[in-house]
Amino acid sequence: LDGTTNFLHGLPHFAVSVALEQFGELTTAVVYDPIRDELFWADKGGGAYVNDRRLRVSARKELGQALVGCGLPVQTWPGREKGFTTQMNAVADHVAGLRRLGTASLDLAWVAAGRQDGFWEYGLKPWDIAAGILLVREAGGRVGRLEGDDDLLAEGTLVAATGGLFPKLTELLQAAG
């Protein structure tokens, strides 16, 4: 269950997230939102879907028009709050809107669906992001780590966005520290 805190407080924004990794590659992803009865799913090379509808990331290329999601690392990464606040302020100054919804798997699914144009968060666990990574990729988006390495499932800062926004969002986050 992703979005556990939301679930425990009765907030209707949480999901069940499952991914299959074979030989070091994410091959199958499922994120189920029971409140909206939406099943996001993807198979490597087969595209991403919500229920039976094919997903594509949004076509937005300008940060000023983008809706970006983020996660607040209060308990997941103690000591990073100041850096996150600096980044959050920098991003907020350049985008149309900033959201903190509390369920990384759904944030990533929503990037894949074009409902959000980007997302970043610190200190995520593999079980919270593995399915969402494949969803975003199969919907035509980009996913990377702010630290620059390729181990997307390692603890660190995950960034996901449309192809046109990914380099701009990553650069903005890196410049903000």
Eight-class DSSP state of 64: G
List 17's β-bridge partners, or say none: 31
- The Cα–Cα gap between 176 and 116 comes to 21
**Token pair 């606040």 in the structure block, residue:** 85
pTM of the predicted protein model:
0.94
The whole-number pLDDT of residue 73 equals 64
Tell me, letter by letter, the H, E, C secondary structure of 10-24.
CCCCCEEEEEEEECC
Q: Is the separation of the CB atoms in 124 and 146 below 8 Å?
A: no
Count of structural domains, the chain: 1
The whole-number pLDDT of residue 149 equals 74
The whole-number pLDDT of residue 77 equals 55
Tell me, what CATH number does 49's domain have? 3.40.190.80
The whole-number pLDDT of residue 72 equals 77
Cα 53-58-59 angle, rounded to 5 deg: 130
123 phi-psi bin (left φ>0, alpha ψ -120 to 50, beta other): left
Nearest Cα to 140, choosing from 47, 53, 60?
A: 47
Per-residue pLDDT in tens (0 to 9) along the chain, 177 residues: 999 999 999 999 999 999 999 999 999 999 999 999 999 999 999 999 999 999 999 999 999 999 999 987 666 555 555 677 888 899 999 999 999 999 999 999 999 999 999 999 988 889 999 999 999 999 999 999 988 777 888 777 899 999 999 999 999 999 987
The whole-number pLDDT of residue 81 equals 59
What is the DSSP secondary-structure string of 20-50?
EEETTEEEEEEEEETTTTEEEEEETTS-EEE
Which domain does 33 fall in, by range? 4-176
